[in-house]
Amino acid sequence: MTSAVTSTPAVFSSSEDIARNLRLVSSEITETVGKIDATELAALAEHLGRSSRVFVAGAGRSGLVLRMTAMRLMHLGLTVHVAGDTTTPAIDASDLLIVASGSGTTSGVVKAAETASRIGARIGVFTTNASSPLAKLADAVVVVPAAQKTDHGSTVSRQYAGSLFEQALFVATEALFASLWDNDASPAEELWLRHANLE
């Protein structure tokens, strides 16, 4: 009978190690976000403005970033749902599905996009791979030029797995929110009234 191998990571990071990695992470994010095509984000924003409701779907850490995005869009007054939640209704042709997958091949995310496509809903995709199955289903594709999580020998990023994609995804969706808010011009106090109060 085999047992799982467990290990306790050694704790020996110095302040110099931490400072070096802070610089590494911030510089990689800055460089990657600077390569995102703003016209692709603008096209996604246009679809947001034409949609009755917004749905988001993603797996793992990308899914967590899209949950944060859903919260911000809700603060703007949009009707937003997270795929898989127990109260999420059926998507229809007047809606927009926003999905994220670095590889563009994550099975559950691709399946969600295929369902939305069959129904006639619009689809916005964040991915590193513009020729992926997910990107081919999209009405708007935002390419994030980061390493995929399985690209362990990447020259694009020294961070583990898909960290850079997820970090850049967060920044890109925050920029999208900020741009929508600029055009909405609602005061922060109005957005705050929609903030969760059952915490």
Is the distance from CB of 114 to CB of 134 less than 8 angstroms?
no
Is residue 25 in a domain? no
Residue 56 resides in a domain: yes
Task: Note the pLDDT of residue 158.
Answer: 79
Q: Examine residue 173 and state whether it is found in any structural domain, yes or no.
A: yes
Closest CA to 101 of 168, 171, 165: 165
Question: So which residues are the catalytic ones?
Answer: 166
Domain assignment present for residue 1? The answer is no
Q: How far apart are CA 92 and CA 119, in angstroms?
A: 6
Q: Are strands 96-100 and 80-82 parallel, antiparallel or unpaired?
A: unpaired
Strands 54-58, 96-100: pairing kind: parallel
- Whether 64 maps to a domain, the answer reads yes
What's the structural domain count of the chain? 1
Residue 134's CATH number: 3.40.50.10490
Count how many Cα atoms sit within 13 Å of the Cα of residue 82 in the half-sphere of its side chain. 17
Residue ranges making up the domain that contains 171: 38-189
> Can you give the pLDDT at residue 6?
65
- Does the residue 163 lie in any domain? yes
Give a three-class secondary structure readout of 74-142. HHCCCCEEECCCCCCCCCCCCCEEEEECCCCCCHHHHHHHHHHHHHCCEEEEEECCCCCHHHHCCCEEE
pLDDT one digit per residue (tens) for the chain, 199 residues: 555 666 666 667 789 999 999 999 999 999 999 999 999 999 999 999 999 999 999 999 999 999 999 999 999 999 999 999 999 999 999 999 999 999 999 999 999 999 999 999 999 999 999 999 999 999 999 999 997 766 666 667 878 878 999 999 999 999 999 999 999 989 999 999 999 999 7
Please report the pLDDT score of residue 7 as a whole number.
Answer: 67
Gyration radius from the chain CA atoms: 18
In a domain, 102, yes or no: yes
